[in-house]
Structure 1
Amino acid sequence: MKLDELVAIDIHTHAEEPCCGPRDDGYDEFQAGMAKYFRNPAGAKGMLPTVQETAAYYRERKIGCVIFPVDAERETGFRRYKNEEVAEIAAANSDIMIPFASIDPAKGKAGAREARRLMRDFGIKGFKFHPTMQGFYPNDRSAYVMYEAIAEEGAIALFHTGQTGVGSGMPGGMGMRLKYSNPMYLDDVAVDFPDMKIILAHPSFPWQEEALSVATHKPNVYIDLSGWSPKYFPPILVQYTNSILKHKMLFGSDWPAITPDRWLADFEKIGIKDEVRSLVLKENAAKLLKLA
Structure 2
Amino acid sequence: MDVDEIVAIDVHTHAHRSVHETAHDGDGNDDMGQYFGIGTMPHYSVPELASYYRERKMAAVVFTVDSISQSGEDPVPGNLEIAELSAEHRDVLIPFASVDPARGKAGVEMARRLIEDHGVRGFKFHPSVQAFYPNDRLAYPLYELIEEHGLVALFHSGQTGVGAGTPGGGGVRLKYANPLHLDDVAVDFPGMDIIIAHPSFPWQDEALSVATHKPRVYIDLSGWSPKYFPPQLVQYANTLLKDKMLFGSDFPVITPERWMRDFERLELKPEVRPLLLKENAARLFGLRGTADAG
**What range describes the TM-score normalised by the shorter chain of this pair?**
over 0.9
Number of residue pairs aligned between Structure 1 and Structure 2:
286
1:157-197 Cα deviation digits (max 9, x unpaired): 00000000000000000000000000000000000000000
* Residue 93 of structure 1: how far off its partner (Å): 0.5
**Are 2:175 and 1:179 equivalent residues in the alignment?**
yes
Q: Which residue of 2 aligns with 1:109?
A: 105
Q: Which residue of 2 aligns with 1:100?
A: 96
C-alpha separation between the residues in 1 aligned to 2:86 and 2:66? 18
Alignment of 1:268-279 (within 5 A): 268-279=264-275
**Are 2:74 and 1:79 equivalent residues in the alignment?**
yes
C-alpha separation between the residues in 1 aligned to 2:22 and 2:71? 16
* Residue 57 of structure 1: how far off its partner (Å): 0.6
C-alpha separation between the residues in 2 aligned to 1:57 and 1:178? 32
Q: TM-score, normalised by structure 2?
A: 0.94
Q: Which sections of structure 1, spanning at least 5 residues, go unmatched?
A: none
**Are 2:46 and 1:51 equivalent residues in the alignment?**
yes
Give 3-state SS (helix, strand or coil) of 2:106's partner: helix
Structure 1 runs (4+) greater than 4 angstroms displaced: 18-23, 27-30
C-alpha separation between the residues in 2 aligned to 1:284 and 1:260? 17
* Residue 28 of structure 1: how far off its partner (Å): 5.5
Q: TM-score, normalised by structure 1?
A: 0.95
**Are 2:223 and 1:224 equivalent residues in the alignment?**
no
Q: 1:38 aligns with which of 32, 36, 39?
A: 36
C-alpha separation between the residues in 2 aligned to 1:252 and 1:42? 21
Alignment of 1:205-284 (within 5 A): 205-284=201-280
* Residue 30 of structure 1: how far off its partner (Å): 4.9
**Are 2:80 and 1:89 equivalent residues in the alignment?**
no
C-alpha separation between the residues in 2 aligned to 1:48 and 1:269? 29
1:35-91 Cα deviation digits (max 9, x unpaired): 011112340xxx412111111010000000000010012213443021110011111
Cα gap change, 1:9 to 1:150, in 2 (>3 Å) = same
Q: Which residue of 2 aligns with 1:122?
A: 118
Give 3-state SS (helix, strand or coil) of 1:127's partner: strand
**More deviation, 108-117/168-177:** 108-117
Give 3-state SS (helix, strand or coil) of 1:52's partner: helix
Code of the residue aligned with 1:6 in structure 2: it is I
C-alpha separation between the residues in 1 aligned to 2:211 and 2:28? 32
Contact 1:30 1:167 in 2 (8 A): no
C-alpha separation between the residues in 1 aligned to 2:88 and 2:200? 34
Give 3-state SS (helix, strand or coil) of 1:122's partner: coil
C-alpha separation between the residues in 2 aligned to 1:140 and 1:79? 22
Query: What is the root-mean-square deviation of aligned Cα atoms in Å?
Result: 1.6
Cα gap change, 1:105 to 1:4, in 2 (>3 Å) = same
Give 3-state SS (helix, strand or coil) of 1:291's partner: coil
Code of the residue aligned with 1:48 in structure 2: it is H
Give 3-state SS (helix, strand or coil) of 1:227's partner: coil
Q: Percent identity?
A: 61
C-alpha separation between the residues in 1 aligned to 2:27 and 2:2? 39
Q: Which has more helix, going by share of residues?
A: 1
